[in-house]
């Protein structure tokens, strides 16, 4: 089990959260805590860079949906970047690939 690490940086389009490790029932509350502390501005784009994510369960998917709801409540956009293949498969299976804009990397996701 890899501990969850979240780093935050600012891009011209808005905040980028890099999620590294396992996003599961034990770590999803940590993601929610970081998200609720983010002050998003209308028109910004929140990018979740998942390139370092090793595992995501249903609680992790719920955390991604919470992130989307947080962004939309602030009249901001959200995008997922560098989604690992196993997680992408799950997103497609449950239809969340139609809900989240998906980008191959955070550079593409933060391009205006």
pLDDT at 2: 74
CA geometry: angle at 70 spanning 65 and 71, to 5°?
100
Going residue by residue through the chain, which has 112 residues, state the pLDDT in tens, using 9 for 90 and above: 678 999 999 999 999 999 999 999 999 999 999 988 998 999 999 999 999 999 999 999 999 999 999 999 999 999 999 999 999 999 999 999 999 999 999 999 999 8
Question: Is the separation of the CB atoms in 68 and 44 below 8 Å?
Answer: no
Q: What is the pTM of this model?
A: 0.95
**Structural domain boundaries enclosing 16:** 5-109
Q: How many domains does the chain have?
A: 1
Cα–Cα dist 66/80, whole Å: 13
> How far is residue 40's CA from residue 70's CA, in Å, rounded to a whole number?
9
Q: What is the CATH number of the domain that holds 81?
A: 3.30.750.24
Show the tokens assigned to 88. Answer: 């992408």
């Amino acid at each position: 089990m890899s501990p969850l690490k979240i780093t935050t940086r600012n891009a011209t389009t808005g905040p980028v959260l890099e999620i590294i490790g396992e996003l599961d029932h034990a770590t999803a509350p940590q993601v929610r805590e970081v998200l609720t502390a983010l002050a998003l501005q209308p028109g910004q784009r929140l990018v979740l860079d998942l390139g370092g994510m090793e595992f995501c369960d249903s609680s992790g998917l719920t955390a991604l949906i919470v992130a989307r709801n947080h962004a939309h409540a602030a009249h901001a956009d959200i995008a997922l970047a560098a989604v690992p293949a196993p997680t992408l498969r799950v997103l497609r299976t449950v239809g969340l690939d139609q809900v989240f804009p998906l980008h191959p990397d955070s550079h593409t996701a933060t391009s205006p």
